[in-house]
Structure 1
Amino acid sequence: MTAQSRLPEWARDASFGIFVHWGPYSVPAWAEPTGAWGAVPPEEWFAHNAYAEWYANTVRIAGSPAEAHQREEHGGAPYDSFLDRWKAEEYSPSDWAALFAAAGADYVIPVTKHHDGVTLWDAPGSGDLTTVARGPKRDLLAPLADAVRAEGIRFGVYYSGGLDWAFTDFPPLETMEHVDDYRPVDDAYARYATGHVRDLIDRYRPSVIWNDIEWPDAGKADGTLDALMAHYRAVVPDGIVNDRWGTDLWDYRTSEYSHDTQNEAGVGWEHNRGLGFSFGFNQLEDESLTLGPRELARLYADIVSRGGRLLLNIGPKASGEIPAVQRRTLEGISAWMGEVKPLTIGRSPVAADAVTASSPSGEAPWFRAWRVGDRIVVVVDSADTVVTATGEVVRVQLPE
């Protein structure tokens, strides 16, 4: 079975999703902007992690800059204290949803539990590690689900099934080789994670379940993961799941920044990344480290032309405010996306020799193309690019 045949019509037509990483890590909001995942040497990655949402792990690595930052800026306070300091006092789900809709989002996937173990709803069995019991003191998911659906956008959920640092007492991850050693695999965690995801299904009926890293081995072995998926298919018949369960369970493949790019093949795959190098809000990422509207449009056109979807992350501040540098990009691309998004419905890749382009300078110009019905959509970088193709051409220029 191909990825294309696994996907329902809505997912085949979708081309743009919004990821939302928001948690206690949004309080310190700090990571070294060292580079893209997959481009930084693996032996350097964990101690110099560019992902702010991994702060709870990075600060435990002796001698890491994050450990020094935590000591100097927060007096070495335990990571757990950030949950109590997280108030979400400016959270406006309707504002988020309107912004995402204007930018052309087909679906929105918030983190419901990241590796720190904190859930954004009153998840069964989670005790006080929830935003209902502490910090914001409320369910952060339900109002967002309602708001995005009111805008005609599908709602999905991210869940970290592979790592939970609150559930385990493993040492910090410092090398890729230890990822499999330091994840919970036993029956107790399998029951815990299964209960969480089943509750997410029953409460929010998500169109996407985006699991991360792995799934506890006990749950794969005893059939409870299969039963969970059967329940999901029954509750949400056109729902889809990603490929990070550690087993042959997936409706589509994923890539992330420069990692797993071998999955960017065929039709129906999904590329996910942040506007900067981090998913969680990183206060160090200014405009120079954040994709602008033109860069984002170019990335989107490239992914669509190759048969994929872009899942772009937004990292709100702890208050719930979407950082100005990120809002600038979404607002700046909205008009362009309004023009190009209708031209992606029913798309398919074109042969490499189906379109040629030239420029007065004689240099090979940048362009990307795909087919929609009898037309070929060509996105060009410059107004003076000359496009030649067999059949009707719809030409779209990148935003200035």
Structure 2
Amino acid sequence: MPDTSTWDALPHRLPDWFRDAPLGIFIHWGPYSVPAWAEPTAELGAIESDLGWFAHNPYAEWYFNTIRIEGSPAAEHHRQVHGDAPYDDFLDQWETTAFDPAAWADLFRRAGADYVVPTTKHHDGVTLWDAPGTGDRNTVRRGPKRDLVGEIASAVTEAGLRFGVYYSGGLDWHVRPTEPLVSGEDVNDRCRPRDDEYGKYCSAHVRDLIDRYQPDVFWNDIGWPDENFHFGQGGLGELLEHFYTQRPEGLINDRFAGAHQDFVTTEYQAGEIPEGQPWENCRGVGLSFGYNQVEDAAQYMSAAQAVRHVVDAVSKGGRVLLNVGPRADGSLHELQVAALEGLGEFMAEHKVHLAGSRGLGELRLKGVEWARAVEKDGTCHVFLSGDAGEITVAAQDLPTGFAWPEVGRTVTLAGEENAPVAVSAPAADSAPTAG
């Protein structure tokens, strides 16, 4: 990378809106939503080695790659069901007859989200708007015949939410085709395009997204072409400068191969929570980001699990970008909707305690399976989950410096299939007794 001082001069931002946003919504939607198939194996990070991960990839949005791995279950499925049809056939078959962006945005708002980040180009290279240089390989010219990015952006903004864009800068299996990717080394190093020409192609896309849709989050994936790490015309540096100039409250993630970042991302169980840095965990309601017709209740999070996941991240200083994968027609799976609806019921009461809070982390409490704590405006909020019934929580086991009852308190747990219950107490020097 050239002149590091130039990169260091770029802004580093954590705008108030993001600091106070415990929840965002991710959307993975593309031609892969037509076959909608992946082997539901395990969460990313739950398997120590990536050996065999790509042949058994649970991410339906990776269908283009997985079906090219000889012997993979996806390749066999594709052969039997789709007769080895070219991937781009799914773009032409993609119809969005049930797509209601206003209904999506309303659901996301009711779930307690503050921002929404749809995929604008995933690794298959298909853009969900009429991106420059894509010819007819986009959703405006083929398939849906719609500017899906624009429709989502308008609906999200009208619902009072922040809009962001996901863009795959690191991979494009159409513009820069490769052999099937079968390892992490393939993805992040050996097969990743590095040339400046491809970087300028990506830069033109993202600049167009910025100018058309005014996103407040630029969420890149799988790095960026190394030769495009410059501040010349069409370079990544110039692009980031343009983004910050146009979007004063905008911020970017950390997936630029170390060039620049405003916050760190983890994915499912993969990645380390950074010390003293803002961070975000992304994951699907199920095992896949793109819709996977194979998944059912065994893979989908319940509402209670979604609540615990959000509270856990906030208690550790982070936030969650929770993904929905629409069906090809634009409808959302009933279990995805149920998880968001249940999450919304909890957030309607407790988002005020989570937004802008200071994470106090995990607690070990007798008789409680799961406990997390945050502090907001001088009050400690402890969230508890476990087998239904009454328990007595000892004051000495709770965070210090707050006015908990000296002899402990009785709490009625709702059971692990329900959202955690909360107990609160003000700072010890602000009130004589617990709230």
TM-score (norm 2): 0.86
Give a deviation string over 1:62-117, Cα, whole Å, max 9, x none: 11111110010001101110000001111100010011011001100000000000
Q: Residues 361 and 372 of structure 2 are in contact (CA less than 8 Å); yes or no, is this contact kept in structure 1? A: no
Q: Residues 290 and 326 of structure 2 are in contact (CA less than 8 Å); yes or no, is this contact kept in structure 1? A: yes
Q: Residues 264 and 277 of structure 2 are in contact (CA less than 8 Å); yes or no, is this contact kept in structure 1? A: no
Output the amino acid matched with 2:40: P
Q: Which residue of 2 aligns with 1:37?
A: 44
Q: Give SS of 1:350's match.
A: strand
Output the amino acid matched with 1:193: C
Q: Which residue of 2 aligns with 1:344?
A: 354
Output the amino acid matched with 2:316: R
Distance 2:361 2:179 in 1: 50
Q: Which residue of 2 aligns with 1:97?
A: 105
Q: Residues 169 and 223 of structure 2 are in contact (CA less than 8 Å); yes or no, is this contact kept in structure 1? A: yes
Q: Which residue of 1 aligns with 2:382?
A: 378
Q: Which residue of 2 aligns with 1:369?
A: 373
Q: Does residue 59 of structure 2 align to residue 51 of structure 1?
A: yes
1:167-206 aligned within 5 A: 167-179=175-187, 180-206=189-215
User: Of the candidates 326, 329, 342, which is equivalent to residue 319 of structure 1?
Assistant: 329
Q: Residues 361 and 373 of structure 2 are in contact (CA less than 8 Å); yes or no, is this contact kept in structure 1? A: no
Structure 1, 216-225 or 136-145: larger mean CA deviation: 216-225
Distance 2:193 2:349 in 1: 46
Q: Residues 230 and 237 of structure 2 are in contact (CA less than 8 Å); yes or no, is this contact kept in structure 1? A: no
Q: Which residue of 2 aligns with 1:245?
A: 256
1:222 Cα shift? Answer: 5.6
Q: Which residue of 2 aligns with 1:307?
A: 317
Give a deviation string over 1:206-259, Cα, whole Å, max 9, x none: 010000011111211464111111111110011000000112300000000121
Distance 2:13 2:130 in 1: 32
TM-score (norm 1): 0.93
1:392 Cα shift? Answer: 4.9
Q: Which residue of 2 aligns with 1:13?
A: 20
Distance 1:121 1:25 in 2: 16
Distance 1:247 1:191 in 2: 19
Structure 1 gaps, min length 5: none
Q: Give SS of 1:258's match.
A: coil
Q: Residues 264 and 270 of structure 1 are in contact (CA less than 8 Å); yes or no, is this contact kept in structure 2? A: no
Distance 2:283 2:117 in 1: 13
Q: Give SS of 2:375's match.
A: strand
Q: Give SS of 2:179's match.
A: coil
Structure 1, 13-22 or 146-155: larger mean CA deviation: 146-155
Q: 1:369 to 1:194 in 2, by over 3 A?
A: same
1:346 Cα shift? Answer: 2.4
Give a deviation string over 1:357-399, Cα, whole Å, max 9, x none: 443xxxx542100110210011111463444343257999752
1:263 Cα shift? Answer: 3.2
Output the amino acid matched with 2:42: G
Q: 1:356 to 1:63 in 2, by over 3 A?
A: closer
Structure 1, 233-242 or 142-151: larger mean CA deviation: 142-151
Q: Give SS of 1:189's match.
A: helix
Distance 1:146 1:99 in 2: 15
Q: Which residue of 1 aligns with 2:339?
A: 329
Q: 1:304 to 1:13 in 2, by over 3 A?
A: same
**Superposition RMSD on alpha carbons, in Å?**
2.0
Distance 1:365 1:51 in 2: 30
Q: Which residue of 2 aligns with 1:256?
A: 267
Distance 1:357 1:72 in 2: 53
Runs of 4+ more than 4 Å apart: 392-398
Over alpha carbons, which structure has the higher Rg? 2
Give a deviation string over 1:8-28, Cα, whole Å, max 9, x none: 111111110000000000000
1:121-160 aligned within 5 A: 121-160=129-168
Output the amino acid matched with 2:270: H
Distance 2:62 2:246 in 1: 32
Q: 1:255 to 1:385 in 2, by over 3 A?
A: farther
Q: Residues 265 and 307 of structure 1 are in contact (CA less than 8 Å); yes or no, is this contact kept in structure 2? A: no
1:329 Cα shift? Answer: 1.0
Structure 1, 216-225 or 200-209: larger mean CA deviation: 216-225
Output the amino acid matched with 1:293: A
Output the amino acid matched with 1:162: G
Q: Which residue of 2 aligns with 1:83?
A: 91
Q: Residues 26 and 116 of structure 2 are in contact (CA less than 8 Å); yes or no, is this contact kept in structure 1? A: yes
Q: Which residue of 2 aligns with 1:225?
A: 236
Distance 1:291 1:147 in 2: 26
Distance 2:356 2:66 in 1: 43
Q: Give SS of 1:43's match.
A: coil
Output the amino acid matched with 2:203: T
Structure 1, 48-57 or 183-192: larger mean CA deviation: 183-192
Q: Does residue 36 of structure 2 align to residue 25 of structure 1?
A: no
Q: Residues 148 and 154 of structure 1 are in contact (CA less than 8 Å); yes or no, is this contact kept in structure 2? A: yes
Question: What is the number of equivalent residue pairs in this alignment?
Answer: 390
Q: Residues 365 and 385 of structure 1 are in contact (CA less than 8 Å); yes or no, is this contact kept in structure 2? A: no
Q: Which residue of 2 aligns with 1:107?
A: 115
Distance 2:251 2:391 in 1: 39
1:345 Cα shift? Answer: 2.6
Q: Does residue 173 of structure 2 align to residue 162 of structure 1?
A: no
Output the amino acid matched with 1:321: S
Output the amino acid matched with 2:19: R
Structure 2 gaps, min length 5: 1-7, 421-435
Distance 2:57 2:25 in 1: 22
1:152 Cα shift? Answer: 1.2
User: Of the candidates 254, 264, 278, which is equivalent to residue 288 of structure 2?
Assistant: 278
